[in-house]
Amino acid sequence: MFNRGEIFYSRRIGARPKFAEKAEEALRPNEIIDFDPTETRLINASKVSGRSSDGWGLGLLNAMSLPAYATLKDTLTNQKRKVQTQPFTNYNVSVVDKSLKNNSYISLLNSNVTMVDHPFSANVTATEFQFRDKSKKYSLSGNGGISRRGESEKETGFRAELELEKNSGNLQFGFSQEIISDTFNPNDLGFLRRNNEISTEGYIFYQMIEPTGIFREWNAVYWIEYVRMFSPNDVFGTEMELEAYARFKNNYSANIEIGYGGRKHDYDETRVKNRYYSQPSFYYGNIYLNSDSRKRMNFYLYAATGKHPNTDHYSYWGDAGFNLRIGQRLQGYYNFSFNNEYNDQAYADKTADEDSIFFVNRDSRFIENVVGLSYGFSNKATMNIRGRHYWSGADNSQAYLLEQNGSLSPTGNYTSTDQNYNAFNIDLVFRWIFAPGSELSIAWKNAIYREEETWKNDYWQNLRNTWNSPQTNSLSLKVLYYIDYNNLVKKKGAEGR
């Protein structure tokens, strides 16, 4: 039920302090940031949900986090002081849901974030519905929401979406219309990648679920999307994609995608309201292969490439990995991901008055390695360990000035800095389900972060430098206890007899 309305994202609770930038803003001469917390500490999280026999559902979630502080250090006197980066915070989500006939439903949700002794608050109210016909072949669905957030002056925004689909049978299709205002923002307790758009999307899908030839099943889908800005009312862009998927009789599978995007007015890249970058058209393609996941060892491979025609901008990316089961209790996995992009003309900076916006010609790449092991002591107790190293870098060259018509002109009035970022994490988690729906977990986390303004195009050098950097360690204990209201009522009734 908590997924209704698209306004709740659980990782917001306990995430990085909301006002983390205050640590850097508060720096005095000769001061450095000695400690900057990457997450807030929870002191309580509880959730109650249930559904009655006549289809009414109710869900309540509440969580509280302690104040978060960054530590600043004077490099001359070694004196330290604290800066608050998030006050004591309360998170609340409530939902009412009604199941209707033909697998239809309607829901009402509210999320709220409040802070003690701080004027900031955020409140989002949303609804979601789906109505199906008697045959359950056709459906009309939609959602809408209103957000109100800010400090002394609150900003209000809205979102609405309506979709009509045929979602049964071999041939399926759908059409949707969505509008999101430029001030709608549920991200204090939800997740929205982008607002300020009006989008129209359609798709047609065909599937064959009966074995035929070498295939166990296959399907194909074509979709097209046209997007305009909400404010100003201008074309953002058009994109279309054709995708095909097949599972073979040996349970290997393959997926192929090809897509094209037309020239667009990119208002997001400029970071300045009502200014856009005229981005060239592009095309891309990718392929994904996966072996039989029922086997003791299975692997996967993904490879993709993209190109902007009539420019030098191109990229290629992918990932590969495997999963391995060792006996009945031990499992392991490994994943390697990368992305290389060349001659990308991207945003770099702007002047204080926002009159001049600078872009740079950029070569960038990232590499990520993830390895993990999981051991099951029993069907109720497990131990998981995960290690991750992520490196990304950007090498900037020619600088450009963004013109009013969205084009770029070479300029010598701006000098950009390169970027080099590393993150190394180890997570060790013990989880014990001590009662139905109830669990105890103990987690140890080790984290190293290193950021530089000089690109080091050498993976192993980056890994060595990261290992030699300061690290942080944290230990946490979490207990979730599930209380079955029906059992309590039955037990109380039995005691009263």
Would you say residue 185 lies in a domain? no
CA 403, chain centre distance (Å): 32
Would you say residue 488 lies in a domain? yes
Would you say residue 324 lies in a domain? yes
Would you say residue 84 lies in a domain? yes
Residues of the chain with pLDDT under 70: 485-497
Would you say residue 196 lies in a domain? no
pTM of the model: 0.82
Q: What range does the domain containing 146 cover? A: 1-156
Q: Could you say which of 102, 131, 156 is where a domain stops?
A: 156
Would you say residue 259 lies in a domain? no
- Report how far residue 74's alpha carbon sits from residue 32's, in angstroms, rounded to the nearest whole number: 7
SS (H, E, C) 301-322: EEEEEEECCCCCCEEEEEEEEE
Return the pLDDT at 494. Answer: 62
> Mind listing the pLDDT tens digit for each residue in 67-91?
999 999 999 999 999 999 999 999 9
- Report how far residue 301's alpha carbon sits from residue 322's, in angstroms, rounded to the nearest whole number: 9
Return the pLDDT at 413. Answer: 87
- Structural domain count of the chain: 2
Return the pLDDT at 1. Answer: 81
Q: Could you say which of 156, 183, 201 is where a domain stops?
A: 156
Would you say residue 295 lies in a domain? no
Q: Could you say which of 124, 156, 188 is where a domain stops?
A: 156
Return the pLDDT at 315. Answer: 98
The overall average pLDDT reported for the chain is 94
Return the pLDDT at 485. Answer: 64
How crowded is the C-beta side of 5, counted as CA atoms within 13 Å? Answer: 28
Would you say residue 177 lies in a domain? no
- Report how far residue 35's alpha carbon sits from residue 51's, in angstroms, rounded to the nearest whole number: 45
